[in-house]
Amino acid sequence: AQSVTQLDSQVPVFEEAPVELRCNYSSSVSVYLFWYVQYPNQGLQLLLKYLSGSTLVESINGFEAEFNKSQTSFHLRKPSVHISDTAEYFCAVSPEGRDDKIIFGKGTRLHILP
């Protein structure tokens, strides 16, 4: 079985400051890793995913995440946040090859302070 731990339920950060949202996972098999984002009053949308290959993956809006197998982590980072990044971020995992079975973390709410 797989599980996901998001250590921070809320992260406040000033606009234009860097941010890191932490995610650790547990699994006895190889995994795919995802970050989904939920903007206020909108549905969940995929931000980025790691399936294989380069351990550093990037999104189109400046976020990146690095898969660290030894530390079983997939932390999400952005060097400079914008007010529009205010959202809840969910880390998720699925067994490799089982994209139908996604396990989500509890989410981290990102508050951007002016």
Partner 1 sequence: DTGVSQDPRHKITKRGQNVTFRCDPISEHNRLYWYRQTLGQGPEFLTYFQNEAQLEKSRLLSDRFSAERPKGSFSTLEIQRTEQGDSAMYLCASSPDYYNEQFFGPGTRLTVL
Q: Where do contacts with partner 1 occur on this chain (CB under 8 A)?
A: 4, 9, 32, 34, 36, 41-46, 49, 51, 90, 92, 99-107
- Which CB sits closer to partner 1, 8 or 15? 8
- Which CB sits closer to partner 1, 106 or 111? 106
Using CA atoms of 43, 32, 29, 75 in order, give the dihedral in degrees to the nearest 10.
-80
Minimum CB distance to partner 1, residue 90 (Å)? 5
5 three-state secondary structure: strand
Residue entry with tokens 């190889």: 30
Minimum CB distance to partner 1, residue 89 (Å)? 10
From the CB of residue 8, how many other CB atoms can be counted at a distance below 10 Å? 15
Minimum CB distance to partner 1, residue 72 (Å)? 18
- Which CB sits closer to partner 1, 82 or 106? 106
Minimum CB distance to partner 1, residue 81 (Å)? 22
Distance (Å, rounded) from C-alpha 48 to C-alpha 10? 20
- Which CB sits closer to partner 1, 85 or 94? 94
Distance (Å, rounded) from C-alpha 20 to C-alpha 101? 26
Residue entry with tokens 């971020």: 89
